Amino acid sequence: QVQLVESGGGLVQPGGSLRLSCAASESIFNLYVMGWYRQAPGKQRESVATITRTGNIDYVDSVKGRFTISRDNAKNQLYLQMNSLKPEDTAVYYCNGKKILGDYWGQGTQVTVSS
């Protein structure tokens, strides 16, 4: 069982930046893909950004050019750098990691973009 713990959420003004971190309880090299998902009130959870073990990255169109996903295999950490934040980015952000026989989620961290 992989434990994933997010941190770094908070309240930020439009145009501001936040960096989310996700700490894993074991080597993230065991996870063939990791990603950040978000869920806003009344909406379905959506994929924001994913990164594979080999470094292939994918972003949802709405965050391209503003968000950057990265992973540090040595530290067992996943990151999401979020710049130029907009009110519509407000959501609970979840860290996810996948093995062949497992799908693991963190508890989520709230990101609120508001003036």
Res 10: pLDDT: 97
Q: What is the pLDDT of residues 21-34, one digit of tens each?
A: 999 998 888 889 99
Tens of pLDDT, residues 75-101: 999 999 999 999 999 999 999 999 988
**Maximum CA pair distance of the chain?**
43
C-alpha distance from residue 64 to each of 12, 18, 25, 60, 107 (Å):
19, 15, 29, 7, 25
Cα–chain center distance at 41 = 17
Contacts of 23 (CB under 8 A, 6+ apart): 4, 5, 7, 76, 77
Q: pLDDT (tens digit, 9 = 90+) per residue, 2-13? A: 999 999 999 999
pLDDT, tens digit (0-9, with 9 covering 90-100), for 23-72: 999 888 888 999 999 999 999 999 999 999 999 999 999 999 999 999 99
Q: What is the residue whose two structure tokens read 């090299």?
A: 29
CA pair distance 72, 91, nearest whole angstrom: 24
